[in-house]
Structure 1
Amino acid sequence: MIFRRIRTHQVVIDVLIGLVVGLITLPFDLHANPFSLVITLGMAVALAFRRLSPATALSVAWATAAFEMLTLSTPQVSNLAICAVLYASAAYGSARVKWLGLGSVGIGAAIGMFYVTFAQLALFGVLHDVSSATDLVRLLLQIGITFLGFLALLGLPWVGGQLVRTRYAARESRDRQLVAEREAARAENVATQAEREAARAERDIAVEQERSRIARDMHDVVAHSLAVVIAQADGARYAYKADPDSVEENLGTIAATAREALVEVRVLLGQLRHSQGAAPQPVLGDLEKLVEQMTTAGLSIDLRSSGVPAQLGSNRQLAIYRIVQESLTNVLRHGDTTSSVDVLFDWRPDDLTIIIASTLRATTPLDSDALTTSGQYRPDERRGHGVVGMRERATLAGGTLTTHQAGGRFIVRANIPSTALTQEVRLR
């Protein structure tokens, strides 16, 4: 690129400087030779273009100097513009122009030394005086001093321009480094904020899962216990007239059920208040006690098992226990308690199928869960939490749960994997 991008006012200033320098030096140069006007104009143009186009300024300066030497003109004051051109070539020029400027320093010093020493001395007839060794030494010394003088005159501006160029490059590098550091800090802040948001989202999810778990457990405990208490209380009220002595047994069952419910509720409330380890949870071995408790409450339960039982994790055992507990509680609340409840555990090599079938009351549908005859929820009716909670437990255990009605019976069918290949989701 020949021309650099500089501000308009910089171009105007450079042109004015070239014009002023030309006007100032022209009166001193006119008396030297008839070509002074051309030489002064050339140096003024080079001075004006030194920042806009260092390559052009260097070319014009060389052309003007060559014209000056070819015409055997005496060096003029306007030649000092060459120093400014060499400075600009090192400070603002491209890498190629910069090194051309450095070459111009050496070549220009040699040519200037030759021109001043030989051409000018020959012109004025000085060389004929060199007739002895002393005169030769004096001449060589003069040549050396002249060369060093030109080298210093032309080299110092170029070195100054190189120093300015280095300072500008260091400043730009520092600015780029600062920008990169700011961008890195901003990216780090964004990443940190994203990590915080992700951690907060994980905490919210964990809290919501824990809240849902406690809600399920609270529903299972309270609904089951209250259903047993209500059934025993109703039974005691009806039996009081016929056999007052049997009331004591019913009241004992009510008290035992209420105490167990109170203990479990206290455990759940303790988990809400403190981050403690999970309390002992029911397992498959507790199903016999559950069946006995529900039988005492007035249900007739036919518990059967087929196949070879597999070893299940505590999480799946808890899910199965809660599903059976909720199903029997729903029968006690909404089903026909005079009919037998069939509970089947069908063990297979890879899974366990649990089927709980109960008879529906002729006058009371399952209003608590707002089910249709196909087992689907009515979206426009208030739903309970029983079937929803059972499905959640089955899903978290890696299985499925469906409900439907057939032949006046309500059937709950749960399928729980029993293989070790399925990862268990932690249920407490």
Structure 2
Amino acid sequence: MFRVLKPYQIVVDVIVAGLFALVALPYELVSSSTDAYATLSSTLLVLLMATALAVRRISPALALGVAWAGAILQMGFLRPPGFADIAIFAVLYATAAYGSRRVFWAGLASSILGAVVITVYLFGPLPGFNTLSWSNLPTAVALLIAAAFGLGLWWTIGALVRTGIRARENRKAQEAAEAETVTEQERVRIARDMHDVVAHSLAVVIAQADGARYAAAADPQAATAALGTIATTARSALSDVRLLLTQLRHSQGEGPQPTIADLEELYAQVRSAGVDLRVDVEPTPQGIPPAAIQLAVYRILQEALTNALRHGSGGSVTVRLAWHPDRVTLHVQNPLPDSVAPDEPVRGHGLIGMRERALLVGGTLDAAAEDGSFVVSATIPIGRAS
């Protein structure tokens, strides 16, 4: 029933309605007789039309009802059209521009019905006009068309404004939805990075801790080295987690992302955990690959090696990278424990994250158990990355 307006808009509408009443009331009093009956009708008519003008934006439905009440009062007192009737045009405009769906169509119906009522009223009971007959029928038809055109014109202008308002609102809603989508994608990316960092670092820490526990009695130096690796890995993971949390709080800036230059450090961490890691890169990258490709390759390898640390049998892990001019292929293979069935389905958030990273840069990824080993294979087109 009521729209939400800013305070200054309400103040402006009230002031406009007050000025309208100050101008319309003397005009209506001058154009009517001087008896008390005419003065009362003029005052009531101006008050009603001014009220309709004041509430036309905050409540188009109420304004339309008040305007009709003023028109009925005018016809009831047999008053001729006057200055106060100008408010009807503003009310019809408001019903089309700001009203609900029902008020919108009620405004259109009012403009048509109002034209008919005006014609019938002027050629009917209103004193000073000829009654409708065949001789003045063309004049009545012309009046009907003119009234319908005048009332309908203001309603049409309001409808055009309504279309502009809706288009602007839809554009803002679309921009807000797009911004929310981008924000959600950024959160998912950060969550994926968080998973990769924490999962890999914890896998290295657990492997080193187990090794240090077994080697503590026989080889204290090995235990000390393992504890040093644990401390270094934990510090690195803590730094990465802090960076990701900072990005999550302040998404307008992104921190540095790992590249293929950081792969050697990743391999060193895995080897320090006691894994026999064999890496083969052939052919090597020609030039500098796009940043999105480097990030995808690093994160996929990081997750694949983390899975090898956590779920592998402890045998040799093989990594093969091939940097072709149009694509990069990677292949990670590690032996599975005997307790894992060959046909056991592959599950886990890490595998989902690897597949999503490949898909984001237009690539594909397969992960499955093959002949007692777990194999991760990915193909990423270099030309599609942005």
TM-score of the superposed pair, with normalisation by structure 1 = 0.57
String of CA shifts for 1:218-271, please: whole Å, max 9, x gaps: 000000010010000000001012212321101000000000000000001111
Q: Which of 188, 193, 201 is the aligned partner of 2:177?
A: 201
Partner secondary structure for residue 326 of structure 1: helix
**C-alpha displacement at 1:276, in angstroms?**
4.2
Alpha-carbon distance change, 53 to 348 in structure 1, aligned in 2, over 3 angstroms: same
Cα-to-partner distance string for 1:108-155 (whole Å, 9 max, x where unaligned): xxxxxxxxxxxxxxxxxxxxxxxxxxxxxxxxxxxxxxxxxxxxxxxx
Q: How far did residue 169 of structure 1 move?
A: 5.7
Aligned partner of residue 338 in structure 2, secondary structure = coil
Structure 2 counterpart of 1:174: 150
Equivalences for 1:100-119 in 2 at 5 Å? Answer: none
In structure 2, what is the equivalent of residue 230 of structure 1?
206
Matched, 1:390 2:354: yes
Query: How many angstroms apart in 2 are the aligned matches of 1:346 and 1:335?
Result: 24
Corresponding position of 2:298: 321
The answer to whether the aligner puts 1:254 opposite 2:225 as a matched pair is no
Shift, 1:398, TM fit: 1.5
Alignment partner of 1:363 is 2:363: no
Answering whether residue 240 of structure 2 is matched by residue 270 of structure 1, we say no
* Contact preservation (8 Å) 2:277, 2:317: yes
1:335 is matched with which residue? 312
Find the aligned partners of 1:185 and 1:289 in 2 and give their Cα distance. Answer: 62
Within the candidate set 139, 142, 152, 1:91 is matched to: 139
Task: Please say if residues 275 and 309 of structure 2, whose CA atoms lie closer than 8 Å, have aligned partners that are also in contact.
Answer: yes
CA drift at 1:389: 0.4
- Partner-residue secondary structure (3-state), 2:266: helix
Residue 53 (structure 1) aligns with:
134
Per-residue deviation, residues 283-304 of structure 1 (Å, max 9, x unmatched): 1111111101110011111100
Partners of 1:93 and 1:306 in 2: CA distance: 90
Aligned to 1:68: none
CA contact (8 A) 2:325 2:382 kept: yes
Question: SS where residue 241 of structure 1 aligns?
Answer: coil
SS of match in other structure, 2:337: coil
Tell me which residue corresponds to 1:373: 343
**Code of the aligned partner of 2:343:** T
> Quick check: which has more Rg, 1 or 2?
1
Letter of the structure 1 residue corresponding to residue 134 of structure 2 = S
Q: Is the 1:6–1:52 contact (alpha carbons within 8 Å) kept by the matching residues of 2? A: no
CA distance in 2, matches of 1:301, 1:10: 97
Instruction: Say whether the 8 Å CA contact 2:290–2:385 is kept in structure 1.
Output: no
Note the alpha carbon deviations across 1:282-341, whole angstroms, 9 max, x for none: 11111111101110011111100222523311111011001001100100000012x111
Letter in 2 for 1:321: Y
Instruction: Write the letter of the residue equivalent to 1:387.
Output: L
Deviation at 1:212, TM superposition (A): 0.6
Tell me how far 1:373 sits from its aligned partner: 2.9
**Partner of 1:413 in structure 2?**
377
Is the alpha carbon distance of 1:364 and 1:178 closer, same or farther for their aligned partners in structure 2, counting shifts above 3 Å? same
- Distance in 2 between residues matched to 1:10 and 1:395, nearest whole Å: 72
3-state SS of the aligned residue for 1:223?
helix
> Which residue does the alignment assign to 2:93?
none
Q: Matched residues in 2 for 1:10 and 1:308: separation?
A: 91
The equivalent position to 2:269 in structure 1, one of 281, 293, 296, is 293
* Alignment-mate amino acid for residue 268 of structure 2: E
- Contact kept, 8 Å, 2:284 with 2:323, in 1: the verdict is yes
In 1, distance between residues paired with 2:120 and 2:258?
88
CA distance 1:6–1:216, shift in 2 (3 Å): closer
Amino-acid identity (%): 43
Change (3 A) 1:223 1:169: same
Per-residue CA deviation, residues 33-84 of structure 1 (Å, 9 max, x unaligned), is: xxxxxxxxxxxxxx99x73533xxxxxxxxxxxxxxxxxxxxxxxxxxxxxx
Report the Cα offset of residue 394 of structure 1. 0.6
Residue 208 to residue 6, structure 1, CA distance change in 2 (3 Å): closer
How many residues in Structure 1 have an aligned counterpart in Structure 2? 267
Q: Following the alignment from structure 1 to structure 2, what is the Cα–Cα distance between the partners of residues 276 and 226?
A: 29
**Which structure 1 segments of 5+ residues have no match?**
18-46, 55-87, 95-164, 366-371, 378-382
- Equivalent residue letter for 2:163: A
CA distance in 2, matches of 1:277, 1:10: 70
Cα distance, 1:280 vs structure 2: 1.3
What is the alpha-carbon distance in structure 2 between the residues aligned to residue 51 and residue 6 of structure 1? 13
**Which of residues 322, 333, 338 is equivalent to 1:346?**
322
Distance 1:273 1:308 in 2: 38
Match for residue 66 of structure 1? none
Residues in 2 aligned to 1:174 and 1:203: alpha-carbon distance in whole angstroms? 44
Match of residue 62 from structure 2: none
How far, CA to CA, are the matches of 1:281 and 1:423 in structure 2? 16
Q: 1:170 to 1:278 in 2, by over 3 A?
A: same
Taking the TM superposition and a 5 Å limit, the aligned residue runs for 1:124-139 are none
- In 2, the alpha carbon distance for the partners of 1:93 and 1:261 equals 86
Aligned to 1:63: none
Instruction: Tell me the equivalent position of 2:36.
Output: none
CA RMSD of aligned residues (A): 2.9
Q: Is 1:218 the counterpart of 2:194 in the alignment?
A: yes
* 2:258 alignment partner, one of 282, 286, 292: 282
